[in-house]
Amino acid sequence: MSKIVITGMGAVTPVGIGVDNFFNNLIEGKSGIDKIRSFDTSELAVQIAGEIKDFNPADYLPKDVVRKTDAFMQYAYIAAEEALKQSELEIDPMRTGIIMGTAMSGISTIAFTQEALTGASHKKVGPRFIPKILGNIAAANIAIAHDIQGPSFTVSTACSSGGDAIYQAAMLLKAGKADAMIAVGAESAHCPIFIYSLANAKALSRNNENPQKASCPFDESRDGFVIGEGGGALILETEEHAKARGAKIYGELIACGNTCDAYHVTAPHPEGKGAVACMKQALSEGGLQPEDIGYINAHGTSTPKGDEVETHAVKEVFGEKTPFVSSTKGATGHMMGAGGITEVISCVKAIETGILPPTINLENPIPCSIDFIPNEAKKAEIKYAMSNAFGFGGQNSSVIVGKYE
């Protein structure tokens, strides 16, 4: 079976636009979380998020694309453009495909359009409303720009969407349906209706007075996650295709896992059975032993139950051979579908640089023997890294990447 290799990466995140900015700010321990500035939050119980800072889409996108796209589509487009440029891929239209991962699609456009419509005397909705809210249109805009006519699917598996987009892209490559695939994840759900629901479910941190400390994965003081937004993209190719065109290879996609808890629509299985099975599945598919993994970028959302369950699951899979573990959501917030891609990128960069990103805001870790890399990046030469993403509905995704040899 041909190896699947990574030849391009792109990132749009609350801590930086561009892969190098993103990763450098992660390892420097910077936070991208602050008071929400994009709309009035004065009546909301939760007023903080990881927003894309000082973002003007016209600086990155053609004007016609800006007019017809939701923010999540813009982040997807920009990340894909960076990844394609880095890869120097010459697109063969019928042999190139794209998989899009998003949990919430155009929820912000839906919410703000309905709000405007409710208060308007003239009930008018623009003709671009529908194509701005559909998840697959994010992929369609990228495909149109680059004449990508191969396989195109949109995955929506809650917060596992990005990881599952990578998995589906890899399956298509292994099935011979394409030579190159773009795996993209993007999210922008910053709107009152989304915040109201999650706040009422007691899922969000209410540390409005100290936003940069609000997301504190694996800390005893954690009180909920912080919403993030952004986009990520990977160019995946068969090894033969990449080598034939002389591509620079940044890493290898070793294996992926996907399972469902079949337990509850929002809560994880209390023993983490689905997460355990998912990590074991990825290890088995990659022909790896637990001790081969040098680093795990954890799902680690900073929720009381979720972090506890993931800690238990990691210990059950890895035992005394548990690798270094960190959650970059302390810096970015929970980027949902986008995080499944950007967190894999952080694993690729960790392998490349020998620097593991820290879990910021970690002062009082959950009692256990795991090194969560608190507050400061750690130097470590590793060969394999795992990225976990777990979502509502009991969705579980584990992606393993490795040094290309």
What CATH number did the domain enclosing 287 receive?
Answer: 3.40.47.10
Whole-number Å distance between alpha carbons of 50 and 69 = 20
Q: What is the pLDDT along the chain (405 residues), one digit of tens a residue?
A: 689 999 999 999 999 999 999 999 999 999 999 999 999 999 999 999 999 999 999 999 999 999 999 999 999 999 999 999 999 999 999 999 999 999 999 999 999 999 989 888 777 888 999 999 999 999 999 999 999 999 999 999 999 999 999 999 999 999 999 999 999 999 999 999 999 999 999 999 999 999 999 999 999 999 999 999 999 999 999 999 999 999 999 999 999 999 999 999 999 999 999 999 999 999 999 999 999 999 999 999 999 999 999 999 999 999 999 999 999 999 999 999 999 999 999 999 999 999 999 999 999 999 999 999 999 999 999 999 999 999 999 999 999 999 999
Query: Structurally, how many domains does the chain consist of?
Result: 2
* Residue 160: closest CA among 296, 4, 278, 79: 278
Question: What pLDDT score does 1 carry?
Answer: 65
Burial label for 26, CB within 10 Å (0-12, 13-18, 19+), is buried
40 within a domain of the structure (yes/no): yes
194, 294, 351 from 291: Cα distances, Å: 40, 7, 16
Q: Are residues 296 and 220 in the same domain?
A: no
Answer yes or no: is 199 within a domain.
yes
Amino acid sitting at position 123 = K
N-term to C-term CA, the chain: 15
pLDDT, residue 152, reads 98
Domain endpoint, select from 215, 244, 273: 244
The answer to whether position 128 is within a domain reads: yes
The answer to whether residues 135 and 51 belong to one domain is yes
Kindly state whether residues 230 and 115 are assigned to the same domain. Answer: yes
Q: Which two tokens stand for residue 30?
A: 């910077």
Question: What residues make up the domain containing 268?
Answer: 255-402
Neighbours of 201 (CB within 10 A): 10
210 and 61 within one domain: yes
Report phi then psi at 52, rounded to 5: -75, 120
pTM for the complete prediction?
0.97
Residues 289, 232 within the same domain: no
Of the candidates 25, 11, 60, the one whose C-alpha atom is nearest the C-alpha of residue 183 is 11
Residue 249: inside a domain, yes or no? no
Note whether 67 and 195 are same-domain residues: yes
Residue 324: beta bridge partners?
295
For 381, residues 6+ apart whose C-beta sits below 8 A from its C-beta are: 294, 354
Identify whether 51 is part of a domain: yes
Domain identity same for 45 and 164: yes
Measured CA to CA, the distance from residue 98 to residue 184 in angstroms comes to: 8
The answer to whether 341 and 357 are in contact (CB under 8 A) is no
Residues 237 and 354 in one domain: no
The total number of residues written for the chain in this structure: 405
Cβ contacts of residue 184 below 8 Å, gap of 6+? 76, 79, 80, 98, 99, 100, 101, 138, 139, 142, 165, 231, 232, 233, 341
Confirm whether 234 is domain-assigned: yes
Of 244, 265, 300, which residue is a domain's last? Answer: 244
CA 28 to chain centre: 20
What are the residue numbers of the active site?
A: 159, 299, 334
Considering the domain architecture, whether residues 338 and 216 belong to the same structural domain is answered as: no
Q: Which two tokens stand for residue 203?
A: 């899922």
Does the residue 250 lie in any domain? no
- Considering the domain architecture, whether residues 198 and 330 belong to the same structural domain is answered as no
**Domain contains 104:** yes
| 15 and 149 both lie in a single domain | yes
Distance separating alpha carbons of residues 78 and 88, to the nearest angstrom = 15
pLDDT at 122: 78
pLDDT for 123 equals 78
Point out the domain boundary residue: 244, 268, 299. 244
- Spatial separation of the C-alpha atoms in residues 76 and 205, rounded to whole Å: 26
pLDDT score at 384: 98
Same domain, 34 and 148: yes
